[in-house]
Structure 1
Amino acid sequence: MSSPPDSQRLHRERLELLRHLDRLTDAPMTVLGFVWLALLVVDLTRGLGLGLQLLSDVIWGLFVLDFLLSFTVAPDKRAYLRSNWLTLLSLLLPALRVLRAVRALRAVRLLRATRSLNLVRLLTSLNRSFRAAGRAVRRRGVGYVALLTLLVGLAGAAGMLAFEDVPAARESGLTDYLSWLWWTAMILVTMGSDYFPKTAEGRFLTWLLALYGFAVFGYITASVASFFVGRDQNASGGDDEDEVTNAALGRELSALRKEIAGLRAELERRNGGGGP
């Protein structure tokens, strides 16, 4: 008869331990999430040297350790995997080491496989960086959206440079990271560009960038507009209007108090006189 209560108590204790573990690793995992995305951008644009590759391997090992520790503590393993499957995928990809093996090969099929793996790496790394941004910016406002947009722009430009290394892109002037960063910024602000991607991975990433731009750009525009409208109102005497409104409310409140006091006095007089 005591098994269900013991089981529930153990479940609650493991949940509390998991929350405590998350709070303990919150700050370092946030920093490492941003560093991980920066290393991916460098890898896609220029390639990692020996030192940066070692740093990437160390961070990957720390991520694996954090995931395994949280998975061990989690009371419901299946629910934890369902909630963190993208994180698990991002940790499995570096273990394949496929990219290192095919860099020296120029076969078309292997290059396509490399681009596809790079696309998955990019998306899963962005997911981890989004979580890091959520931990870094607790208040989900315009600052949080701006940080996400910055991450999407930086990573998206690196992905487009890696996927669209084709003659048509070079003829359009898209030859380096800065030019692709400008192109990505135009996509995010929904203005577009004259160049249309040629590879399947580039087209899919462009679709994701455009979808994000349509979803977020209106919010950023409205936030900026409301900021300037608020400044204009304050500059044109918004404080004076507030003072006038407060004074009017004060007068109405005072009159209401006098009326209530009069009604109370009338009731006391009638009750003292035995009623009508």
Structure 2
Amino acid sequence: MPAGPDQGEHLTRERWELLEHLDRLTDKPMIALAFVWLALLILDFTQGLSALWQRVVSVIWVFFVLDFLLSFSVAPDKRAYLQRNWLTALSLMLPALRVLRVLRAFRALRLLRAVRSINLLRLVTTVNRSFRALGSAVQRRGLPFVVALTLMLTVVGAAGMLTFEETLFRSYWDALWWTAMIMTTMGSETWPQSSEGRFLAWLLAMYAFAVFGYITAAIASYFVGRDQDDRNEANVAQTLRDELALLRREIEGLRQDRFQGPS
């Protein structure tokens, strides 16, 4: 017999619940792998990867693919799942070893624009995965999450700027300083020349304008709150002293009445 509407909705709900259960089971390992993947991307952009680290990247990529395929197979609505995870799916189209081989081939052909474009795509997709991992690791979406995200974007953004603007920065630390200035909305006297570098700088600047005000306001609110707490504590202490003095006067008055007796 064909399944009725109620039974179909029940099966759909059960599969979504199963998907959530699988996500909870694989959450912590995937979070750890996402941060390792981000660190290896930064290392690749700044120094390059040895053969050993390339194999590590490939193993992590295989785990990501298996996790995605498992979730995709369980999801009852494949289209809805892909719409929510299209950037993750795109990142899985860039397996580590194949990308490195393609980059070497592009360098041999001197197609530097294609190299930078692929690196930009790797950067964006990796940041997206790391953003999700950070959101899962820091459950409370407040100031700690924003500060951690800002630090992460500053570090990985500097690696990207060094890759896209090799003639502008002499070292990763120069790129990190430049990116930190962008993140604090202070700007710089030097600006990227490549299209990918300009696009990345624009993304960093947009994030900085949107978030840096929140961070400064939170810090100011913290110190203002501490001053207010200090004033409140001082007021409470003064009130207690006044009440204690009043109580002492009343006790002294009772003693005098007792010793004097009735007139």
**Counterpart for residue 146 of structure 1:** 147
Give matches, 1:195-274, under 5 Å: 195-235=190-230, 237-241=231-235
Alignment pair present for 1:125 and 2:119: no
Q: What fraction of aligned residue pairs are identical, expressed as a percent?
A: 61
CA distance in 2, matches of 1:242, 1:207: 51
Question: Are residues 54 and 95 of structure 1, via their aligned partners in 2, closer, same or farther at CA, if it must alter by over 3 Å?
Answer: closer
Give the letter aligned to residue 175 of structure 1: R
**Counterpart for residue 191 of structure 1:** 186
Is the contact between residue 130 and residue 148 of structure 1 (CA under 8 Å) also seen in structure 2?
yes
Is the contact between residue 99 and residue 114 of structure 1 (CA under 8 Å) also seen in structure 2?
no
**Counterpart for residue 244 of structure 2:** none
CA distance in 2, matches of 1:87, 1:221: 32
**Counterpart for residue 179 of structure 1:** 174
**Counterpart for residue 162 of structure 1:** 163
Deviation of the 1:68 alpha carbon: 0.2
Cα-to-partner distance string for 1:133-163 (whole Å, 9 max, x where unaligned) = 0000011000000111011001100000000
Q: Which runs of 5+ in 1 are unaligned?
A: 246-276
Deviation of the 1:132 alpha carbon: 0.3
Deviation of the 1:206 alpha carbon: 0.3
TM-score normalized by the length of structure 1: 0.82
CA distance in 2, matches of 1:224, 1:80: 38
CA distance in 1, matches of 2:121, 2:36: 18
Cα-to-partner distance string for 1:9-45 (whole Å, 9 max, x where unaligned) = 1101101100100110111111111111111000111
Alignment pair present for 1:42 and 2:37: no
Cα-to-partner distance string for 1:45-76 (whole Å, 9 max, x where unaligned) = 11111111111111100000000000000010
**Counterpart for residue 18 of structure 2:** 17
Deviation of the 1:98 alpha carbon: 4.1
87-96 or 218-227: bigger deviation: 87-96
Cα-to-partner distance string for 1:56-109 (whole Å, 9 max, x where unaligned) = 11110000000000000001000000000000011101268244234263544x
CA distance in 2, matches of 1:131, 1:244: 50
CA distance in 1, matches of 2:236, 2:138: 32
Is the contact between residue 189 and residue 217 of structure 1 (CA under 8 Å) also seen in structure 2?
yes
Give the letter aligned to residue 26 of structure 2: T
Give the letter aligned to residue 26 of structure 1: D
CA distance in 2, matches of 1:160, 1:148: 18
CA distance in 2, matches of 1:58, 1:201: 28
**Counterpart for residue 136 of structure 2:** 135
Cα-to-partner distance string for 1:111-147 (whole Å, 9 max, x where unaligned) = 1101000001000100000000000001100000011
Is the contact between residue 58 and residue 97 of structure 2 (CA under 8 Å) also seen in structure 1?
no
Aligned residues: 237
Paired residue secondary structure (2:23):
helix
**Counterpart for residue 256 of structure 1:** none
**Counterpart for residue 68 of structure 2:** 67
Deviation of the 1:2 alpha carbon: 5.2
Give the letter aligned to residue 229 of structure 1: V
45-54 or 1-10: bigger deviation: 1-10
Deviation of the 1:231 alpha carbon: 1.8
Q: Which runs of 5+ in 2 are unaligned?
A: 240-263
CA RMSD of aligned residues (A): 1.8
Question: Are residues 133 and 19 of structure 1, via their aligned partners in 2, closer, same or farther at CA, if it must alter by over 3 Å?
Answer: same
Deviation of the 1:242 alpha carbon: 6.1
Deviation of the 1:229 alpha carbon: 1.1
